[in-house]
Amino acid sequence: MTQLNMVQAINEALRLEMRRDESVVLFGQGIRGNLYGSTKGLLDEYGPDRIIDTPISENAIGGIALGMALTGYRPLVETNGGFLCAGFEETIHLPSHWRLTHGGEVSVPMVTLVNAGGRAGLGTDHGTYPTGLLLQYPGLKIAVPSTPADAKGLVTTALRDDDPVFVVKHTSLSGIRGEVPDGEHTVPFGRASVRRAGTDVTIVASAYSTVMALQAAETLEPDVSVEVVDLRTLNPLDESTLLDSVAKTGRAVVVDDDMRRGGIVAELSALIMERAFDSLRAPVARVGRDPVPLPAGMIYEAAVMPSVDSIIDAVRSVATHVEVA
């Protein structure tokens, strides 16, 4: 084990997979200069043929990645969540259904590493958290790490997958440190992790929301015993782990940095109501971004974003709900 932050852990995953598989190629805006931190030292080690800077043209970047994935390469594009829609057709729409529309005869081993959800008051262009958008395209796999170890393992798994994968790295987690396994490390898709055991309320979260949920759970102890389920991937989704947790606690709070409406918060709330209704002793509570355009400026952004305090309020609300006979 080695202590690394999340960016360092992703860098380690990229380095090892590029060493293991010569078909892995990285490209994007400014990655030779280590714009996002995750490509540090890779240009010196693997050269300009595999670490490729691109023009500021998201549709061209997505088109190149798709073409490379269809012709024997395993490209990884690093970008920002606010820029995805600029290359929507090539990066999201086409890769999501290419295998199906071609009769399953082709694979699209294309990874998009998305830096998103900055919480730095930068507005929609740099602060967008795109989980809800990506969920609308079921052909995409979506990984959402909350720890450096999971970041390394999920990126490695993504690079070995034959379907298009989005790894959404919340930028507020870039500097978070933790123990990371040395050498090869993979985390399987579709397997959630119970980060904290509890008996009274389940919080279902991922990425930065998991960190906030754990802080809220610590604050609420011993008044409320909170179980925190970290999804780790949104598609495939580990339904059994979260439903087992809700069946045990009888109460659920679902948290995500994307909007409460139309995203993973709404989807999981509906899932719990459909599949665990008989276990519920209170309505499912949703904690997410207000359904408004993301404002610029720290004060304005904080007013519409989920927080530790809003999670605590939601947990208390469901914990004190009185059942009506």
pLDDT tens figures, 185-230: 999 999 999 999 999 999 999 999 999 999 999 999 999 999 999 9
Q: What is the pLDDT of residue 297?
A: 87
Confidence of residue 82 (pLDDT cuts 50, 70, 90): confident
Q: pLDDT per residue over 93-130, tens digit each?
A: 999 999 888 888 899 999 999 999 867 787 877 788 99
CATH fold, domain 193-319, is: Rossmann fold (3.40.50)
3-state DSSP assignment of residue 296: strand
Q: What is the pLDDT of residue 322?
A: 63
Q: What is the pLDDT of residue 33?
A: 87
Q: What is the pLDDT of residue 323?
A: 65
Phi and psi at residue 128, in whole multiples of 5°?
-60, 135
193-319 shares the fold of 2-180 = yes
Confidence of residue 36 (pLDDT cuts 50, 70, 90): confident
Q: What is the pLDDT of residue 170?
A: 94
Confidence of residue 295 (pLDDT cuts 50, 70, 90): confident
Q: What is the pLDDT of residue 321?
A: 76
To the nearest 10 degrees (0 to 180), the angle between helices 148-160 and 6-20 is 30
Active-site positions read 126
Amino acid (1-letter code) at residue 199: T
Q: What is the pLDDT of residue 122?
A: 79
Please state whether beta strands 193-196 and 226-230 pair in parallel, antiparallel, or not at all (unpaired): antiparallel
Q: What is the pLDDT of residue 162?
A: 96
In CATH terms, the superfamily for domain 2-180 is Thiamin diphosphate (ThDP)-binding fold, Pyr/PP domains (3.40.50.970)
- The answer on pLDDT for 17 being more than 90 is yes
Question: What pTM value is reported for the model?
Answer: 0.94
Q: pLDDT per residue over 229-246, tens digit each?
A: 999 999 999 999 999 999
Domain boundaries, given as residue ranges, for the chain? 2-180, 193-319
pLDDT above 90 coverage of the chain, percent: 78
DSSP track, 4-60: EEHHHHHHHHHHHHHHH-TTEEEEETTTTTTSSSTTTTHHHHH-TTTEEE--S-HHH
Q: What is the pLDDT of residue 52?
A: 93
